[in-house]
Amino acid sequence: MTTPLIALSRQLLGFNTINPPGNEHACMAFLASHLEERGFEVSLLPFGENRTNLVARLPGDTQGAPLGFTGHLDTVPLGQQQWQYDPFGKDIVGGRLYGRGSSDMKAAIAAFIGACDAQRAAIRAGTGVTLWLTGGEETGCDGARALLESGLAGTAPGALIVGEPTANYPVIGHKGALWLRAETTGKTAHGAMPELGVNAIYLAADALQKIQHFSPGPDHPLMRHPTLNVGRIHGGLNINSVPDRAVFDVDIRTAPNLSHSDICQRLHHHIGEHIRLEAQVDLPAVLTDPQDPWIQAVFALCQPLHGTPLTPRIVPYFTDASLLLPALGNPPCIILGPGEPAMAHQTDEYCEVNKLEQAQSLYGEIIAGWMKDPMASSA
C-alpha cells in the first residue's frame, strides 16, 4: 500500500533536477502548491533560468523562535553505469525506494514535510516551523548563496535540522570545503621546437608533485585530519603545440581549527608564487556543541533506533548549513536524514523505506518537543 509519505517521495524523485543544469523550478512549484494546501506561507525565489529556492513558513501562536528544516532538491548526474532500477522513483524493490536523490536527499524532504503536516496542530499552538528548500547545493551551495544574497532568508530559527543522509543517526557537524583552481601560464611554440616555448603542463606537473606533500593543517579532535585531493586537470589545445596554459582543481576538506585564507597562503608559497590560485568554493566547517540541550534531546529521541550508544559524529561532505547557519544567527544544528550515506551519488541509489518512515516519526517527535517547550530544548 502506498502511503502519503511514499507517494510524495516518489513524486519528488519523478522530477529531473540533475545538476547541472538543475532545473529545480518545476519541482519547487509543485512543492509550493503542496505546502500551501497545508497552510504554509510560501515564497518561490528564482536565482537563474529554471533555478528556484523555496522558503515556507507555518506560523505558530506562541512567541519564540521557530524550528527550522533545510534540504536541497537538485541531484548529481546519473553517471556512466547503467541503472538496474528507474532513476526517477518508479521502483520499490525489497523495501528500498530507488531513484536519483532518494538518499541525497528528496526522501528526507518528503519526511519532514509529512512530519510537519502530522504535527500541524502542535505547530500552530507553538512557535512555528520554517523550511528552507534550495537548488544548486551539489555544485557548491549556489542556491543557498543566492537565497541569502536576496535578503529573504526569513526569521532565524531556534534550531536547524539538515535532512542529508545519515541513516537516521544524529550528526553534529561536517567538514568545510575549500575548492581551488590552480593555473599555470607558459609560452606557446611549435611542438617541433619546444625549446622556444615554456610548457605550462610541465609547470603544473611540478606543482602537482609538490602538492602531494602539502598538509592543510593539524588534526581536529572530532573531525580528525583534513584532506586534499586533485580532482581535475586540463592543459593544452593540440598535440603539436607547446601549451601556454594548464589548470588543475584542488578539493580541500577542513575543520573549524583551520583558516581557509591561511591554507591558501601556505599552499601558494609551497607550490610556487608564479601559480595563480582562485577559490571556486569556500564553505566553513559546521560543528555544534554536543552538550547543547536540544542536541541532547534529539540524541535521546534517536537512541531507540540504534543498537549501540550514540556518540558525537561528523560527516565529511558539506551542506547548505555552511552558509545558512552564520546568516541565521548560528543556532544549534543537527544533520539527520533517512538516506544511506554510502548510497549518495551512487548508481541505483536507494533509501530504505523503513528508515524513511522512521525519519518522519522522528522528525514529528522533534517538532512536538520543540513546540511543547522550545526553551527547555535549546536553553
Give yes or no: 137 in active site.
yes
348 an active-site residue?
Answer: no
Q: Residue 312 phi/psi, 5° resolution? A: -60, 130
Distance CA 310, CA 299 (A): 7
Distances (CA, A) of 44 to 21, 29, 133, 327, 338: 18, 8, 10, 19, 26
| Contact yes or no for 130/155 (Cβ under 8 A) | yes
Beta strand spans in 73-216 (E): 92-93, 96-98, 129-134, 159-162, 173-174, 176-185
The neighbouring-strand residues paired with 181 are 249, 278
Residues whose CB is less than 8 angstroms from the CB of residue 308 and which lie 6 or more positions away in sequence, other chains included:
none
Grid cell locating 283:
564553505
Give the Å distances, CA to CA, from 279 to 182, 203, 207, 251: 9, 20, 17, 10
Catalytic residue among 91, 117, 137, 142: 137
* Candidate list 24, 74, 164, 292, residue with the active-site label: 74
Query: How far is it, in rounded angstroms, from Cα 170 to Cα 312?
Result: 8
How many residues belong to the chain? 379
- Determine the straight-line distance between the first and last CA of the chain, rounded to whole angstroms: 42
CA distances from 186 to 176, 198, 231, 307 (A): 33, 5, 22, 59
- The catalytic residues are 74, 137
